[in-house]
Amino acid sequence: MMKDRELIELFDTTLRDGTQGERVNLSIHDKLLITEKLDDFGIDIIEGGWPGSNPKDEEYFQKVRGLDLKNSKICAFGSTARFPDKVKSDNNIQMLLKAETPVIAIFGKTWRLHSHKSLGLSDEQNEELIYKSVELLKSHGRKVVFDAEHFFDGYKDDHEFAIKMLMAAANGGADVLTLCDTNGGSIPEEITRIIKHVKETVSSPIGIHCHNDSELGVANTLAAVLAGAVHVQGTINGVGERCGNANLSSVIPNLILKLGCKTMSDIDLSDMTSVSNYVYEVMNLVPNIRSAYVGRSAFAHKGGIHVSAVLKDSRMYEHISPEKVGNTQRVLVSDLSGQSNVRYKAKEFGIELPDDKDFSRDLVQHIKTMEYGGLQYDGAEASFELLLRAELKEYTPFFDVKYAKMNVMFDENGSEYSEAVLKVIVDGEEEHTASDGDGPVNALDKALRKALTRFYPSIENMHLVDYKVRVLGEKNGTGAQVRVLVDSSDGVDSWSTVGASENIIKASLTAISDSINYKLFKTSRVAKKIVASV
């Protein structure tokens, strides 16, 4: 744990560097929403974009002034001027000032390869360019963060050149000198050694900006802080160019919980998971379930021995309490499960299992047999709850599909047609119906709902959110067994169900049927509670 150190300044570049990541696209409204979320969380500086590079970022800097931010300062990003003798008239510099942000981050070349080859500048010209650009921005009363681009590569190539460029920014009045591992190729030992040398040379506060191309973005950031960096840059969920940036969703908990660092703003770590999921949602990206601290699997336990130990003392298999970062402990049920897994999940569902050890052993064996047959319950908890309740005689299906027929047609002109024909039995009453759809599964789903709505109107407000197919035993080709996972929602609750078969339609029917049965079971239980209370 680190004691008696300077406060750490948190600098978020999700809205700038993060948007350079593949499949990351944000509207101005999206950027403003994320800005407010980061401000609530306690980020010190939010880098909003590069004014002058595109109209969207220019508009963002106009509209962000209307937000009532409580913790964060907004930062505009850009480069040094292009020519040493034209700094005052440089368009990029003028657009940075026009953004009217209290903080400006400006990058300059600290690797001779770039200054010589990319810009065609001599060492002296590059030094002058950095000094004059920073000095001009400081003269307008802005806090200036100098991003020493490719600093670690530049240092390893010629450390005297790299430090000389750093000193130019310091002499120009830069408030923070951020050392950038722009290519993401450094390792922690190099980061530590180089920063310690830099701190012997310059007195300005040191920052760190790491990319993740060697899967070391977080590790390098922590190494930098241990070596004396007090300004930390990164993105929520590690989004960014190529392999991404240092992941603040991991960096921040590590700084606070592992290194004992204090941040300039008060950070409520219990909001960390919420912030991570919120950014994923606004970016329309699927969350990485295996992300440290905030991922859905970060505190999930599957092996029977693990679960047995966690139930006694969670410290045996959890490095922190999940509540500290706003996450939750989960126990999965699979063919690796023991009785502890099943009892944990039953308790989670509010189900009291008999103390009979034979019952528990037989139930676990039954589950393992079902998983061997292709089902997988760790991603379909609604199907698992129905299985448990059926074993306890608390649940029987609300309907029975006696007959299902699919008609799929298409021709050389591109015409397509899918139809499902079903015969469904509800309380001895038969309903024979048909429906077309966008493909056979959609037709099947629509036909089943059509048949059941007359008996169970409550299913009208539920809908299929996601549909996934996993081929099992790929070597069997088109004859392989498939597993179908269906995610459903009624606008209030969401749940997942599973089906497996060599026939994809049959597997889909099983998963969809479970989904509807789960909704009906929950609705009936609520109705019974209301009646009982009256």
pLDDT in tens, 341-364: 777 767 777 888 777 777 767 777
User: What mean pLDDT comes out for the span 225-244?
Assistant: 98
- Which residues, 6+ apart, have CB-to-CB distance to 435 below 8 Å? 419, 420, 443, 446, 447, 450
**Statement: residue 207 has pLDDT above 50:** yes
Looking at residues 270-295, what average pLDDT do you find? Answer: 93
Output 482 or 204, whichever has higher pLDDT. Answer: 204
End-to-end CA distance of the chain: 57
pLDDT tier for residue 3 given thresholds of 50, 70 and 90: low
CA angle 182–187–192, rounded 5-degree value: 95
Q: What is the pLDDT of residue 1?
A: 54
Look at 486 and 312; give whichever has higher pLDDT. 486
The chain-wide mean pLDDT, for the chain, equals 90
pLDDT for residue 358: 72
The residues facing 151 across adjacent strands are none
> What pLDDT band is residue 333 in, cutting at 50, 70 and 90?
low
Percent of the chain exceeding pLDDT 70 equals: 91
Q: What stretches of 254-380 show up as alpha helix (H) in DSSP? A: 272-283, 304-312, 339-348, 357-372
Alpha-carbon gap, residue 247 to 221, rounded angstroms = 9
Name, of 169-183, 456-470, 488-502, the range with top average pLDDT: 169-183
**To 10 degrees, what angle do helices 55-63 and 28-41 make?**
50
Q: In this predicted structure, what is the pLDDT of residue 41?
A: 98
Tell me the pLDDT tens digit for each residue of 125-170.
Answer: 999 999 999 999 999 999 999 999 999 999 999 999 999 999 999 9
Please give the average per-residue pLDDT across 53-72, as a whole number: 95
Q: Report the pLDDT value the prediction gives residue 477, as an integer from 0 to 100.
A: 60
Strand order in the sheet with 481-489: 463-472, 481-489, 494-501
* CA distance to 3, 59, 132, 241, 363, per residue, from 221 (Å): 18, 32, 29, 17, 48
| Residue 277 clears pLDDT 70, i.e. is over it | yes
User: Cα–Cα–Cα angle for 12, 14, 15, nearest 5°?
Assistant: 110
Sign of the Cα pseudo-torsion (386, 390, 393, 395, in order): positive
What φ, ψ does residue 58 adopt, rounded to 5°? -60, -45
Residue 53 pLDDT exceeds 70: yes
**pLDDT at residue 29, rounded to an integer:** 95
Cβ neighbours for 326, distance < 8 A, ≥ 6 positions apart:
269, 270, 271, 272, 273, 274, 294
Predicted local confidence at residue 335, as pLDDT: 47
Q: What is the mean pLDDT of residues 508-534?
A: 83
Query: Using only C-alpha atoms, what is the Rg of the chain?
Result: 29
User: Please, what sign has the CA dihedral across residues 312, 316, 320, 326?
Assistant: negative
pLDDT at 19 (0 to 100)? 96
What pLDDT was estimated at residue 313? 85
* pLDDT tier for residue 411 given thresholds of 50, 70 and 90: confident
Residue 381: pLDDT band with limits 50, 70, 90: confident
More confident: 24 or 301: 24
Least confident of 44-53, 64-73, 387-396: 387-396
Domains of the chain (ranges; CATH) run 9-283 (3.20.20.70), 300-372 (no CATH), 379-392+462-534 (3.30.160.340), 399-455 (3.30.160)
- pLDDT, tens digit (0-9, with 9 covering 90-100), for 465-492: 889 888 876 555 666 788 899 999 998 9
- 450: amino acid identity, one letter: K
pLDDT at residue 296 is higher than 80: yes
SS3 state of residue 335 = coil
Query: Does 428 score more than 70 pLDDT?
Result: yes
pLDDT of residue 474: 55
